[in-house]
């Protein structure tokens, strides 16, 4: 989801897009970052397919672990036919609430003193969008998928009717076929998919070669002291 403000400073930006980003929690008590930010020094509309008519800066923001679950199935027995994909966006109240938080928390960030000399009028969603109902309507109009789809080919045990591949990355019910990519993740990770996909591929390579697991035992996991009190 894009969130834009006028850029008041002058001069060309000698920088690439998306050099600044971050992860935050939507509320106290959430055990993992569930909102991701990509900050841009310009305005990008519809993934760059629509030219901007003004100078602006922008942030792309969205929930990390959507609770909405879609589905994918074959259209026919013809392998040349595209499959039927139903992402089922925003089909849970939690997803709607998290997207709403994305807008509210982004406004909180852009309202900070550090942005004062750069801040102009809010372009999207605009100051006229304030109520939860208005924010939800904006989100439904503007939200779309980013570039990190996963979990369409879930890994699981043979007893799991929703699993497509087994713990050895083999397609269940099909001989001599494996899937090794982000699609076999059982659930969405809190971050981009490049690094975990590389890890999946290296693990699958070890499985195929019959090498033992490299997993260490009792690895400590960091837990912030403010988990229950702060975002």
User: Which residues are identified as catalytic?
Assistant: 148
The whole-angstrom separation of Cα 44 and Cα 42 is: 6
Contact assessment for residue 130 and residue 162, using Cβ atoms and an 8 Å cutoff: no
Angle in degrees, CA 49, 44, 190, rounded to 5: 110
Contact assessment for residue 200 and residue 182, using Cβ atoms and an 8 Å cutoff: yes
CB atoms within 10 A of CB 217: 4
Contact assessment for residue 1 and residue 61, using Cβ atoms and an 8 Å cutoff: yes
Secondary structure string (H, E, C) spanning 65-118 = CCCCCCEEECCCCCCCCCCEEECCCCCCHHHHHHHHHHHHHHHHHHCCHHHCCC
| Strand 20-24 relative to strand 35-40, pairing | antiparallel
């Amino acid at each position: 989801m894009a969130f834009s403000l006028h850029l008041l400073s002058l001069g060309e930006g000698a920088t690439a897009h998306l050099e600044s980003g971050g992860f935050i929690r939507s509320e106290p008590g959430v055990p993992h970052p569930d909102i991701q930010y990509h900050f841009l020094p310009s305005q990008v509309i519809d993934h760059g397919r629509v030219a901007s008519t003004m100078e602006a800066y922008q942030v792309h923001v969205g929930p990390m672990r959507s609770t909405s679950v879609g589905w994918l199935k074959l259209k026919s027995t013809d392998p040349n036919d595209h499959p039927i994909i139903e992402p089922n966006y925003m089909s849970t109240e939690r997803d709607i609430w998290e997207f709403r938080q994305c807008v509210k928390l982004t406004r909180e960030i852009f309202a900070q003193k550090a942005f004062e000399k750069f801040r102009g009028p809010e372009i999207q969603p605009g100051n006229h969008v304030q109520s939860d109902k208005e924010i939800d309507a904006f989100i439904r109009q503007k939200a779309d998928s980013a570039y990190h789809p996963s979990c369409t080919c879930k890994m699981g045990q043979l007893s799991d009717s929703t699993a497509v591949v087994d713990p050895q990355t083999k397609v269940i019910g099909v001989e001599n076929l494996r899937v090794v990519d982000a699609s076999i993740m059982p659930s969405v990770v809190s971050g981009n998919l490049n690094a975990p996909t590389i890890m999946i591929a290296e693990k699958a390579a070890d499985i195929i070669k019959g090498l033992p697991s490299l997993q260490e035992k009792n690895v400590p996991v960091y837990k912030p002291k403010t988990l229950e009190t702060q975002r």
